[in-house]
């Protein structure tokens, strides 16, 4: 085997066309968002509504909802890109989204936003320009202390503060510099004024990671929004929160003071159509080809369609599955991977992982769960003909191991779904396996 670093050369690509990271704002990137974004045209409901949200002068707050893996983050990133680069009334925005963590306070929330904005000005204007402004120098120093005291990693830290790339944080938020909320909000207001002087009509801040917080403690997340309510009303800012389906109704709507400051209803992002997913892949193949027109699709369109249905349209999981397939195909195999081989790889990987973690009985219950879109303790008990007490124990273990995830609660019933990498166990998708 030739130990070259590019797994994708054999197909004619310079890099991975199935990379699930959010598309880059940079035109120098291999997959710039200005060229690689496909679907959700401006006349789609979700694009129309988010455009109208940004067209409201003075700022606002909105929730963008959808199932995990449908492309919510890329959708928001694309519209942030449009409003910074192509709009007449341009909106300044950090290069990447900001992740919210369960231990955050309102102070930590604002500190992260400030650090991201200083980082954006560093990219746009340069270090000398930033240090020439007393406001930005002061905020940069403050967020630098915040990093040093609260977000230490084993190596260098390039998040929050003055690092150009970062806005992601880890959970420790103790020892934050002792700056009161009025002063922090004043910094936000002054940066909004500076952005206006530089030709921007406002600032967009995009917050992610709501899925994890909602699963962990919805009540605590609701209290967090109560705490940051005043911050969210800072003039000139457009706060966009990307969240799982049901977030608005569960977290925002029950708190009238918080609900009253949010934009209408949540913007719901549905999965891309099968045709759009195929178009996304085609566009990526074209952008990453090493020689114009000379590439081979790693998998067939028929396999993509099968995966689309298996994962209920969630493009992230489709791409993750194809990456797994390619990673396990022998190096010397030429051309497009056969559908049979691809499905065998996925089902074998899922079966082997389940067998390593579970007893045969538990694995059989998981296989049954993979055959339905969602399930409760009662429905899985009926499906498997197991005792209800045993089923509850199985589900608890599946969730703990990451094989199943909790979806929502309706009254006393909790709904679950099998994790994406276990879905190939479902009847019709899994190959037969002998003990």
Query: Are the C-beta atoms of 97 and 208 separated by less than 8 Å?
Result: yes
Q: How far apart are CA 370 and CA 87, in angstroms?
A: 45
User: Residue 86, exposed/middle/buried by CB under 10 A (0-12, 13-18, 19+)?
Assistant: exposed
- Establish if 61 belongs to a structural domain: yes
Do 181 and 81 lie in a common domain? yes
Q: How far apart are CA 401 and CA 395, in angstroms?
A: 10
Q: How far apart are CA 153 and CA 170, in angstroms?
A: 9
Backbone angles phi, psi at 414, to 5 degrees: -105, 130
114: how many CB neighbours lie within 10 A of its CB? 23
Considering 240, 268, 296, which residue would you say is the last residue of a domain? 268
CA 51 vs. chain centroid, Å, equals 20
Residue pLDDT tens, the chain, 435 long = 565 657 888 898 989 999 988 887 877 788 889 999 998 888 899 999 999 999 999 999 999 999 989 999 999 999 999 999 999 999 999 988 998 877 778 888 999 999 999 999 999 999 999 989 999 999 988 887 554 444 443 333 333 333 333 444 434 443 445 678 999 999 999 999 999 999 999 999 999 978 777 777 778 888 999 999 999 999 999 999 999 988 999 899 999 999 999 998 999 999 999 999 999 999 999 999 987 678 999 999 999 999 999 999 999 999 999 999 999 988 777 789 999 999 999 999 999 999 999 999 999 999 999 999 999 999 999 999 999 999 999 999 999 999 998 888 888 899 999 999 999 998 666 444 444
User: Regarding beta strands 404-410 and 267-268, do their DSSP bridges make them parallel or antiparallel, or are they unpaired?
Assistant: unpaired
Q: For the chain, how many structural domains are there in total?
A: 2
Do 168 and 64 lie in a common domain? yes
Find the angle CA(14)-CA(19)-CA(24) to the nearest 5 degrees: 90
Do 72 and 204 lie in a common domain? yes
- Establish if 287 belongs to a structural domain: no
Do 360 and 243 lie in a common domain? no
Helices 360-370 + 377-384 axis angle, to 10? 110
Instruction: Give the model's pLDDT for residue 144.
Output: 72
Do 351 and 235 lie in a common domain? no
CA 58 vs. chain centroid, Å, equals 27
Q: Which domain holds residue 428?
A: 338-435
- Establish if 122 belongs to a structural domain: yes
What CATH number does the domain containing 205 carry? 3.40.50
Identify the CA nearest to 376 among candidates 337, 338, 409, 344. 409
Q: What is the DSSP string of 12-40?
A: TBSS-TT--SPPBS-TTSSSBHHHH--S-
Do 70 and 198 lie in a common domain? yes
Backbone angles phi, psi at 81, to 5 degrees: -60, -45
Find the angle CA(100)-CA(22)-CA(261) to the nearest 5 degrees: 40
18: how many CB neighbours lie within 10 A of its CB? 21
Going from the C-alpha of 166 to that of each of 107, 131, 200, 266, the distances in angstroms are 18, 19, 22, 27
Do 262 and 351 lie in a common domain? no
Do 207 and 79 lie in a common domain? yes
- Establish if 123 belongs to a structural domain: yes
User: Residue 30, exposed/middle/buried by CB under 10 A (0-12, 13-18, 19+)?
Assistant: middle
- Establish if 103 belongs to a structural domain: yes
Query: Are the C-beta atoms of 36 and 281 separated by less than 8 Å?
Result: no
- Establish if 292 belongs to a structural domain: no
- Establish if 321 belongs to a structural domain: no
Query: Are the C-beta atoms of 267 and 63 separated by less than 8 Å?
Result: yes
Residue 169 DSSP label: -
Instruction: Give the model's pLDDT for residue 153.
Output: 35
395: how many CB neighbours lie within 10 A of its CB? 23
Q: How far apart are CA 322 and CA 435, in angstroms?
A: 27
Q: How far apart are CA 126 and CA 139, in angstroms?
A: 16
Do 232 and 129 lie in a common domain? yes
Considering 253, 268, 283, which residue would you say is the last residue of a domain? 268
What CATH number does the domain containing 355 carry? 1.10.10.10
First to last CA, the chain: 32
Do 117 and 197 lie in a common domain? yes
Report the length, in residues, of the chain: 435
204: how many CB neighbours lie within 10 A of its CB? 20
Reduce the DSSP state of residue 54 to 3 states and report it: helix
Do 381 and 256 lie in a common domain? no
Q: How far apart are CA 234 and CA 256, in angstroms?
A: 19
Instruction: Give the model's pLDDT for residue 157.
Output: 33
> Which run of H or of E encompasses 410?
strand 404-410
Do 239 and 349 lie in a common domain? no
Instruction: Give the model's pLDDT for residue 338.
Output: 95
Instruction: Give the model's pLDDT for residue 145.
Output: 58
- Establish if 3 belongs to a structural domain: no
Considering 268, 285, 310, which residue would you say is the last residue of a domain? 268
Helices (H), 89-180: 106-125, 127-131, 134-150
């Amino acid at each position: 085997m030739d130990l070259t670093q590019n797994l994708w050369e054999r197909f004619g690509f310079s890099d991975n066309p199935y990379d699930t990271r959010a598309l880059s704002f940079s035109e120098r990137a291999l997959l710039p968002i200005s060229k690689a974004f496909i679907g959700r045209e401006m006349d789609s409901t979700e694009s129309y509504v988010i455009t109208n949200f940004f067209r409201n002068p003075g700022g606002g707050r909105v929730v963008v909802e959808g199932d995990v893996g449908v492309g919510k983050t890329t959708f928001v990133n694309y519209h942030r890109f449009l409003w910074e680069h192509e709009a007449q009334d341009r909106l300044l925005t950090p290069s990447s989204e900001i992740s919210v963590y369960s231990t955050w306070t309102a102070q930590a929330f604002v500190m992260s936003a400030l650090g991201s904005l200083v980082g954006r000005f560093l990219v746009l204007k340069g270090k000398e320009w930033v240090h020439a402004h007393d406001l930005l120098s002061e905020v940069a120093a403050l967020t630098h202390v915040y990093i040093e005291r609260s977000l230490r990693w084993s190596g260098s830290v390039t998040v929050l503060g003055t690092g150009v790339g970062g806005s992601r944080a880890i959970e420790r938020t103790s020892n934050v510099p002792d700056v009161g909320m009025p002063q922090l909000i004043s910094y936000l207001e002054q940066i909004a004024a500076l952005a206006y002087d530089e030709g921007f009509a406002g600032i967009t801040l995009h917050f992610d990671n709501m899925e994890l917080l909602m699963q962990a403690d919805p009540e605590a997340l609701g209290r967090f929004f109560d705490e940051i309510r005043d911050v969210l009303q800072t003039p000139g800012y457009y706060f966009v929160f990307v969240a799982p389906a049901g977030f608005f109704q569960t977290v925002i709507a029950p708190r009238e003071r918080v609900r009253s400051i949010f934009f209408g209803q949540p913007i719901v992002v549905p999965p891309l159509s099968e045709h759009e997913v195929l178009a996304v892949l085609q566009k990526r193949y074209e952008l990453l080809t090493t020689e114009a027109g000379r590439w081979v699709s790693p998998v067939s369109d028929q396999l993509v369609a099968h995966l689309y249905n298996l994962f209920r349209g969630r493009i992230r999981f489709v791409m993750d599955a194809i990456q797994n397939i390619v990673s396990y195909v022998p190096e010397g195999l030429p051309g497009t991977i056969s559908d049979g081989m691809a499905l065998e790889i996925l089902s074998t990987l899922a079966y082997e992982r389940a067998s390593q973690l579970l007893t045969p009985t538990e694995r059989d219950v998981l296989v049954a769960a993979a055959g339905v879109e969602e399930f409760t303790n009662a429905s899985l008990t009926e499906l498997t003909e197991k005792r209800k007490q045993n089923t509850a124990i199985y589900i608890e273990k599946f969730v703990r191991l990451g094989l199943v995830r909790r979806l929502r609660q309706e009254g006393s019933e909790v709904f679950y779904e099998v994790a994406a990498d276990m879905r190939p166990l479902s009847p019709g998708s899994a190959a037969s396996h002998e003990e």
